[in-house]
Structure 1
Amino acid sequence: MEKVANGLYELEGINSGVSKRTIQGDIQLMRSNKLGYEAPIVVTDKKYYTYSDPEYSISNSPISSTDMDKMKEALDVLKQLSGFSIFNEMNEMIVKLDNKILSSQDNKEGIVQMEGNSLLKGLEWLTPLYKAIKNEIPLLIRYKSFRSLSENTEIYFPYLLKEYRNRWFLICKKKKSQGLTNLALDRILEIDEMSKSNFEAYDGVNFERYFADTIGVSKTERDRGNKIILKFEANTAPYIETKPLHHSQQLVKREVDGSIVIRIDVVHNLELEREILGFADCVEVISPRILRSRIKKRIAKNLAQYSELESNKN
């Protein structure tokens, strides 16, 4: 009891001591399998506690099979995420864990597989951007968007890394600009750190609220969610109900034929249009009129491309 009390004081600054009952309870816990120890503690001369095996130590206690299975499952998930890891050290840690587990257990195929694309460009910027956001460092970024014919070099203040559809974006603000913008990591050509003293913090709403009414990442601070009404045919309805397009999704009407009408409140952006077009002939935009018109024009343009192809064949 004195030894434990001294240890508690040195490590935690606790000077209230420890009771005999606590010591006895801890010894019983070490003897049990609750913590995976099953320590071979015995009593000699009716007053001394010792290990029947003098070589035993709880520090060398093997991991239980249950814990090993849990570690293996967690490792499977880590392996899937490693390609997008913000921390370079994670890959080395995963290799070490994998080697340790495999040396203690037969190698089994993983049962978790997550979406990933090792060919994605721009992942090398995750670590420097993460550190810049964390340490509030302005960045000089050389960037070339898909729409621009030439590259531009500007100073940006980085605020958030956001992933959408397996692609990463930096939410930031350009120096001497008021509004937020997003940069696709796969379009960044070069990054240089600037002086920390010139960093401009973001003083708008928190980003959880900022993107709450958005599908994807395309949004300005002036954009607000609109009431979008969509009708899905019967075969697609169960999918939409079990996997909502957005957390604001509400069921407006269920038709006799099994089709459904839903409402979502989101910003009208390119990602929303692509989400709708992804359902092709299974969805109809009821409102707003401008979105219905946009989708109609895009479908007509796509149909014209197929018609032109058929004409060329003939």
Structure 2
Amino acid sequence: MSSNKNALIRYKTLDKCLKNKYRKYTLEDLIDECSEALFEFEGKESFVSKRTVQLDLQNMRSEKFGYEAPIEVYDRKYYRYSDPDYSIHNISVNESDLKAMNNAIQILKQFKDFSMFKEMNGVIQKLEDSIHSTHQKSIIHLDKNEQLKGLEHIDILYESIINKKVLRILYKSFTAREANIFTVHPQLLKEYNNRWFLICLYKGKMYNLALDRMEHIEQEENTEYIDQNLEGDEYFKDIVGVTVSNTKSRYVVFSVDASNAPYVRTKPLHKSQEVVSETAESTVFRICVQINYELERLLLGFGDCLIVHQPKRLRERMREKFRTSFKNYQNLDAEENQRSQ
């Protein structure tokens, strides 16, 4: 579990203890309560240190998170709120907070047509009413396509991941003549380049299945679910796109001409990107990733303004693809010349 979730659980637990009028809590009691709350949430032993709880109490007292909690120590031993009606869940919001929430609402409203967000419409409306939203037009536009085939499957896939259900999916890849049934253990949903994918366990290996190739989905009740405990950020950390393999990450070194280098510099191809060297003609970049289909497509998309230097095998593959593309254009020109004669 992420450290942010840990902290939220501890703050919630401390708040419950500090506003309890019928029990006295020492620092050791608060530590035990936080440890027990984390154990209940994670299902495994979670020891919270004394320093962590002391820092949590300090943060709750401060303006850091907007709490400014009136925590006091009485009898030099016990902790409580000096205001018996106080709770971190009763925090008032200022004008700046309202503006931030209003902006967030405008972004959330852009997802209203996705089936998995439909039940959010009522929540969004309540938020708008409660903060007196100005109903302004959205000035942040997210790239999305509600007409994508396969979006109708998101609900059952999402629910199956949450509820740890095995699925039987009738799936037809672009290269298959007929659809096949895959019995999979769904783990993650991933969006890349305006397409959605299901990351799942199939016959002991991880696969990514495109939602637009799924023809039918049903839950398999007689098979025990296998949870891979995947964290998206960790699973895709060395990846451009969605295809993860067992191969090691490689340094990919490429140069971009001077006119296009600023675009690559300000929108890195991967979080590992760094500048190796720079001249008036071009900039050399380096990323550390697994080499997959999506990376090749991304690099090819830069056309003649990008050159791959390393690794050699990737460079040769890129060269061959450009040769084939050039040959295709030559053949097209020849056909048009013949038709015009």
Aligned residues: 266
Find the partner of 2:252 among 205, 217, 228: 228
SS at 1:285 equivalent: strand
Per the TM alignment, residue 269 of structure 1 is displaced from its structure 2 partner at its CA by: 0.8
Per the TM alignment, residue 66 of structure 1 is displaced from its structure 2 partner at its CA by: 5.0
Per the TM alignment, residue 155 of structure 1 is displaced from its structure 2 partner at its CA by: 0.8
In the other structure, the counterpart of 1:179 is 205
Q: Distance in 2 between matches of 1:24 and 1:91?
A: 36
Matches within 5 A, 1:35-184: 35=92, 66=96, 68-84=98-114, 86-95=116-125, 97=127, 100=129, 107-174=135-202, 177-184=203-210
Q: Distance in 1 between matches of 2:124 and 2:335?
A: 54
TM-score by length of 2: 0.68
- Contact persistence 2:102–2:134 (CA under 8 A): no
Percent pairwise identity: 35
Q: Distance in 2 between matches of 1:105 and 1:192?
A: 41
1:179-208 per-residue CA deviation (whole Å, 9 max, x = no partner) reads 1111011111111111265212227x7543
- Please state if 1:217 is matched with 2:239: no
- Amino acid in structure 1 at the alignment position of 2:262: P
In the other structure, the counterpart of 1:250 is 274
- Amino acid in structure 2 at the alignment position of 1:108: Q
- Please state if 1:189 is matched with 2:189: no
- Contact persistence 1:237–1:258 (CA under 8 A): no
Per the TM alignment, residue 216 of structure 1 is displaced from its structure 2 partner at its CA by: 0.6
Distance 1:77 1:274, change over 3 A: same
- Amino acid in structure 2 at the alignment position of 1:264: I
- Please state if 1:302 is matched with 2:328: no
Structure 2 unmatched ranges of 5 or more: 1-14, 25-71, 75-80
Q: Distance in 2 between matches of 1:85 and 1:296?
A: 43
Q: Distance in 1 between matches of 2:194 and 2:216?
A: 21
Structure 1 unmatched ranges of 5 or more: 1-7, 37-63
Q: Distance in 1 between matches of 2:161 and 2:85?
A: 47
Distance 1:250 1:85, change over 3 A: farther
SS at 1:246 equivalent: coil
Find the partner of 1:262 among 285, 294, 310: 285
- Amino acid in structure 2 at the alignment position of 1:74: A
- Amino acid in structure 1 at the alignment position of 2:121: N
Q: Distance in 1 between matches of 2:135 and 2:117?
A: 26
1:93-148 per-residue CA deviation (whole Å, 9 max, x = no partner) reads 335555x489x566533211111111111112212111111111100111111111
In the other structure, the counterpart of 2:47 is none
- Contact persistence 1:159–1:172 (CA under 8 A): yes
- Amino acid in structure 1 at the alignment position of 2:176: S
Q: Distance in 1 between matches of 2:216 and 2:160?
A: 14
SS at 2:116 equivalent: coil
Q: Distance in 2 between matches of 1:160 and 1:148?
A: 24
Q: Distance in 1 between matches of 2:126 and 2:261?
A: 46
Q: Distance in 1 between matches of 2:108 and 2:196?
A: 18
- Amino acid in structure 2 at the alignment position of 1:210: Y
Computing the radius of gyration from Cα coordinates, the structure with the larger value is 1
Poorly superposed stretches of 4+, deviation over 6 Å: 16-19
RMSD over aligned Cα atoms: 3.3
SS at 2:152 equivalent: helix
Distance 1:14 1:193, change over 3 A: same
Find the partner of 2:316 among 261, 283, 293: 293
